[in-house]
Amino acid sequence: MTSICLIRHGETDWNKEGILQGTKDTPLNSNGILQAHQCSEFLKNSQWDILATSPLQRAKQTAQIINNNHNIPLIEVKKFMERHYGDAEGMTVEERNTKFPDQKYRDQEAWTDLQKRSMEGLYELHERFTNQKILLVSHGAVINAILATLSNGKIGTGKTVLRNTCMSHLHFDGKWSIENYNVVSHLSQYNDQENIVHY
């Protein structure tokens, strides 16, 4: 059985300010670095074989911090880059609502294309590292597209708000299954408020 732990990257200043990042290459802020360290600490007593990451800086930083407690091979996978939001990238919520009231952003990557490349990436990881345990650091839209696909739309895109450095666990044993999603019990800022969501 192949196991994959999907991890959203840590917080950035743009996350905090509600600015749409997409493919803009923003770094973690101090809270995002703390979140990554807390995620690393939580995972340190579990065994993993490989760590895959989006090539964007905020994901790579998160992955590198997590890997401090594992020292396992770290690979970059372009198919797990965040969705491209076209002309809306770099805009606040207010700016987006003003310029794109229908939320149809010019030159945005189509959701079906995002879904296709995210799932292709997932299957490629499984084929390359069959029966291994994989940590995968990616982005909110990518992880939500995967969750939406595997749950037939019950969770994920349009329904699930993923927290920074949340974890979602998947298994492949003939077919994909979701064990849980949006797990934030490792984060001090949510410890008293959030529970593990089992699917």
Report the alpha-carbon distance of residue 196 to residue 175 in Å, rounded: 23
* Other beta carbons less than 10 A from residue 109's beta carbon: 18
The pair of three-digit structure tokens given for residue 120, joined into one six-digit string: 């292709």
User: The dihedral of CA 52, 54, 56, 61: what is its sign?
Assistant: negative
Report the alpha-carbon distance of residue 106 to residue 9 in Å, rounded: 26
What distances in angstroms separate CA 127 from CA 113, 131, 177, one per listed residue? 21, 9, 16
Report the alpha-carbon distance of residue 196 to residue 130 in Å, rounded: 27
User: Contact at 8 Å (CB) between 198 and 180?
Assistant: yes
Q: Which residues are catalytic?
A: 9, 82
The torsion angles phi and psi of 93, rounded to 5 degrees, stand at -60, -45
75: left (phi over 0), alpha (psi -120 to 50) or beta: beta
- Vertex 51 angle, CA 162 and 30, to 5°: 55
